[in-house]
Structure 1
Amino acid sequence: MTTTIDPKTSNASAPSRAELLATPGIASGEFVQETLALTRRLFIQLKRRPTTLIAGIIQPLMWLVLFGALFQNVPEGLFGTSQSYGQFLCAGVIVFTAFSGALNAGLPVMFDREFGFLNRLLVAPLASRFSIVLASAIFITTLSLIQTVAIVITSVFLGAGLPGAAGLAVVALIVLMLVLGVTALSLGLSFALPGHIELLAVIFVTNLPLLFASTALVPLAFMPTWLQFVSSLNPLSFAIEPIRYLYLHSDWTFASIVMDAPWGSVSLGGALLLLAGFDAIALVSIQRLLYRRLS
């Protein structure tokens, strides 16, 4: 006895190619699992070669100690209400360290591209390929928080003081917001540029000019008028000035004026909104690029 197979019935019961290739979405447990696995891979690399973390902690501490000692004999009140230049410099070192680390966020992805590992991930049945980007963001954010904690602890011993618990929470929020935007731009560059040489060139060209065009080392009043406009539009200044204010004032509120820019006064809440706007612009600007590269 022979059995005949109806092609219509067979095709209806068999899964289509699209169904076979379908993968869980971002809200799935698989996405969380693979993001944690990719993040763990980055930390294993860091554990095997901890030089990056060690240098990332030692360098800002050297800035804090050496620059603080260099200007320790300046007249009192020269740097606003700061008791010492070390106290004034602390906010700048925190922000610039987080910025530098976030600017390097695209390097691991770039090296994965060049060594072919990224291609293997792109053909793997991932729940979402955006776990690759998210893992890098989590890794860089964690390193930035570790560096920030080291700087804050060292600054206490150098006499810079310490904000209250609420102030420290706002400091952490500011650092996270800055890291988010800069990390997004760095990851976008890692997919847009042809190789790590070009990415390193962008990092080197961007790093120091943004530092000197901010209020990290001197207040706005020390700068010529044109540089005051540039510095007051620099995202680093929107992070530095609120943190500096939190160190110097225990009675802060979100309405407190943290920066008197040439174009107007900026409150603590306004600085947070400006940083949020910077993050939104950075994320929107790389969205299409990531969809194209990861699709």
Structure 2
Amino acid sequence: MSSTVTSPPWQLETTAHPTAELIQETWALTRRLLIQLQRRPSTLVAGIIQPLMWLILFGALFQNAPSGFFSDGVNYAQFLSAGIIVFTAFSGALNAGLPVMFDREFGFLNRFLVAPLVSRFSIVLASTIFITLLSLVQTVAVMVTSYLLGGGLPGVGGFFLVVGIVMLLVLGMTALSLGLTFTLPGHVELLAVIFVVNLPLLFASTALAPLAFMPKWLQTIASINPLSYAIEPIRYLYLHSDWQWSGTVMATPWGNLSLGGCLLILTLFDGLIILSVRKSLHRKLS
């Protein structure tokens, strides 16, 4: 007479859906970064105070600019808000690779790579989510401060589009930063790249001055600067409550660009970055 042996309940294996496991481990890695931020809140405080200081100080510096210097009925607080929002998101995303670089140097990254993860790209996803959350907090802080300084606010639809533009920029810059993290030998080299790139891209964009105010050679550089393709759409949304996708947002030396055209170029720029770092990330994380 044969008997069937049944395994105890605690020995039964349960297999979760791979997507659910990916979400779970991505959230766990994101939560780790949030806990690190909770233990070092000065990072968040400094990340909010710095753009507010830029907004207040530069706004005061140009508050006596001649009427119509930027455009009819536009004060410098309205003009500057878009530039500070974009530059803050850009700077934060460019620093996204630093936590991963420190994990790599201290050996924690190797522990993640040998852990039974569903996908090692959850490390990349966690960093992207973390930086996006920080950028959104900074964006809201800048928008509130700009409003208090007389810069106004975009409409409801414009607000959500501003958030979308910020997320689009953060996606591309975070991918670039993580690609550099797995390519450069250490954090010293990564910091050097950040310091070299950060301010030149700010001053070679339309963040602080209109394109028409620049010399011809700087107009050309600012017209191909990816920051300008995020700044000008946000500035347009700030200044036009009745915005349209076909509305002209930037007059470059080679032609006028619409809101939709700028966002398309920004999307293509993100795609180019992701394709360029994809092989490096795949090689390091596979």
Give the structure 1 partner of residue 84 of structure 2: 93
Q: CA deviation at 1:83?
A: 2.4
Is residue 240 of structure 2 the alignment partner of residue 249 of structure 1? yes
Equivalent residue pairs, number: 272
4+ runs deviating over 2 angstroms: none
RMSD of aligned alpha carbons: 1.2
How far apart are the structure 2 equivalents of 1:103 and 1:75? 35
Q: 2: distance between equivalents of 1:201 and 1:24?
A: 43
* Distance in 1, Cα, partners of 2:75 & 2:264: 29
Shift of residue 85 of structure 1? 1.0
Larger radius of gyration: 1
Residues 67-86 of structure 1: pairs in structure 2 closer than 5 A? 67-81=58-72, 83-86=74-77
How far did 1:52 drift? 1.1
Aligned to 2:5: none
Matching residue of 1:195: 186
Matched letter for residue 223 of structure 2: S
**How far apart, CA to CA, are the structure 1 residues paired with 2:107 and 2:36?**
17
Instruction: Write out per-residue CA displacement over residues 179-234 of structure 1, whole angstroms, 9 at most, x where no aligned residue.
Output: 00000000000000000000000000000000010000000111111111110111
Q: How does 1:160-171 map to 2 (within 5 A)?
A: 160-171=151-162
TM-score normalised by the chain length of structure 2: 0.93
**Paired position in structure 2 for 1:5:** none
Unmatched 5+ residue regions in structure 1?
1-22
Q: Name the structure 2 match of 1:130.
A: 121
Query: Which letter maps to 2:52?
Result: L
Amino acid at match of 1:265: N
1:38 aligns with 2:33: no
Are 1:245 and 1:258, in contact at CA under 8 Å, matched by a contact in 2?
Answer: yes
1:261 partner amino acid: T
* 2:111 equivalent to 1:146: no
Q: CA deviation at 1:82?
A: 5.2
Q: Give deviations 1:87-138, integer Å, cap 9, x for gaps.
A: 1111000000000000000000000000000000000000000000100000
The correspondence for 2:253, drawn from 262, 265, 280, is 262
> Counterpart of 2:45 in 1: which secondary structure?
helix
The alpha-carbon deviation at position 84 of structure 1 amounts to 1.2
Cα-to-partner distance string for 1:71-90 (whole Å, 9 max, x where unaligned): 10111110123521111111
Q: How far is 1:24 from its partner?
A: 8.3
Percent identical across equivalent pairs?
A: 71
Distance 1:161 1:92, change over 3 A: same
How has the CA–CA distance of structure 1 residues 134 and 284 changed in structure 2, closer, same or farther, with 3 Å as cutoff? same
Partner residue of 2:214?
A: 223
Q: Indicate conservation of the 8 Å contact 1:72/1:85, yes or no.
A: yes
Equivalent residue in structure 2 for 1:113, among 104, 127, 141:
104
Is structure 2 residue 268 aligned with structure 1 residue 277?
Answer: yes
**Residue ranges of structure 2 left out of the alignment (5+ in a row):** 1-14
Determine the structure 1 residue equivalent to 2:278: 287
Q: Which amino acid aligns with 1:135?
A: A
The letter for the 2-side match of 1:274 is I
Checking the alignment, whether the CA contact within 8 Å between 1:24 and 1:127 is kept in structure 2 is no
